[in-house]
Amino acid sequence: MSYSPSNNIFNTNGIELAVSGGIAVPLSASAILFAGVDNQNIVRLPKIDQNGNLYVSGTISSVVAGTQSVTGSVSVIGIATIDNNNHGNSIITNIPASITNATLANSNSSRKGLTIFNNTTKTMYIKYGINCSTSSFSVKITGQGYLEIPFYYSGQIDAIFSTNIGEALITEILN
């Protein structure tokens, strides 16, 4: 495998990809620019300062069923960041089913995600907040159902079941 700047793109399986010429990207798709070629046929990579800030300038044009262009300067406001931290820490908890309010997870500012499996044969009501009831809830999960709480929700999560038999299996993903 070579690691030269003009040939260092890999797919998700780690296989090196070769790119030549341009790649057409439909208007409905998203793309990221890895490098370009100037009018002297020199490959130009994105400019990044010593702090990792990306500089973007120039014009953008797109050819899809005719020509659609953006003229003038293109500015990026703010800093694009990539989180390469491994979020592999988790806490796994079993909460007994209850026909009265039960807290599944306390507020936790380190939470990055949370999953709930209703390990009963009956309905479970979930509330993103405190004091869940069958008339005040966020989501209803049927027996043997699964729910992923919206990532980065860090508040308390309460529940109430239609039975006292079974449990909720909770996996809290931490920073």
pLDDT in tens, 102-129: 999 999 998 988 999 999 999 999 999 9
Which of 38-47, 84-93, 121-130 is predicted least confidently? 38-47
pLDDT beyond 90 at 14: no
pLDDT at 154: 93
Question: Rounded CA gap, 142 and 121, in Å?
Answer: 7
List the alpha helices (DSSP H) in 57-156.
none
Give the pLDDT confidence of 139-175 residue by residue, as tens digits. Answer: 999 999 999 998 789 999 999 999 999 999 999 988 7
pLDDT at 61: 43
Domain regions of the chain by residue span: 1-82, 89-174
First-to-last CA distance in the chain?
34
Average pLDDT over residues 52-65: 50
| Parallel, antiparallel or unpaired: strands 43-44 and 36-37 | antiparallel
For 89-174, the fitting CATH number among 3.30.70.260, 3.90.180.10, 2.40.30.10, 2.60.120.770 is 2.60.120.770
Residues 6+ apart with CB under 8 A from 96: 102, 164, 166, 167
Closest CA to 33 of 17, 22, 42: 22
pLDDT beyond 50 at 3: no
Looking at per-residue pLDDT, the higher value among 80 and 113 belongs to: 113
């996996």: which residue's tokens?
171
CA-based radius of gyration for the chain: 25
Q: How many CB atoms lie within 10 A of CB 173?
A: 18
Round the average pLDDT of the chain to a whole number and report it: 73
